[in-house]
Amino acid sequence: MLLYEKGDYDATEPLFREALAMRRNLFAGDHSDVAESLNDVAAGARAGRSLSPVSNLAR
């Protein structure tokens, strides 16, 4: 989260996506940790203004 707080959104996106992939592998179904990672990816994209690729993540 330090990179995110510094505004380095380009560096945070791959890390947030990696965390999302790991959590999806660990937790089946609708799990709050997966939702948290989805939120992190979306927040980073929103802050970096790159929302179009994020819409596919929830599927």
* Confidence check: pLDDT of 4 > 80: no
Give residue 34's domain range: 2-56
Given this model, what pLDDT does residue 38 score?
92
Q: What is the largest CA-CA distance in the chain?
A: 33
Count of domains for the chain:
1
pLDDT in tens, 12-49: 888 989 999 999 999 988 999 999 999 988 888 888 77
State the Cα–Cα distance between residues 16 and 34, nearest whole angstrom. Answer: 11
Per the rule left: phi > 0, alpha: psi between -120 and 50, beta: everything else, 7 is left
DSSP for 17-54?
HHHHHHHHHHS-SS-HHHHHHHHHHHHHHHHHT--GGG
Report pLDDT for 3.
80
Q: What is the pLDDT of residue 19?
A: 94
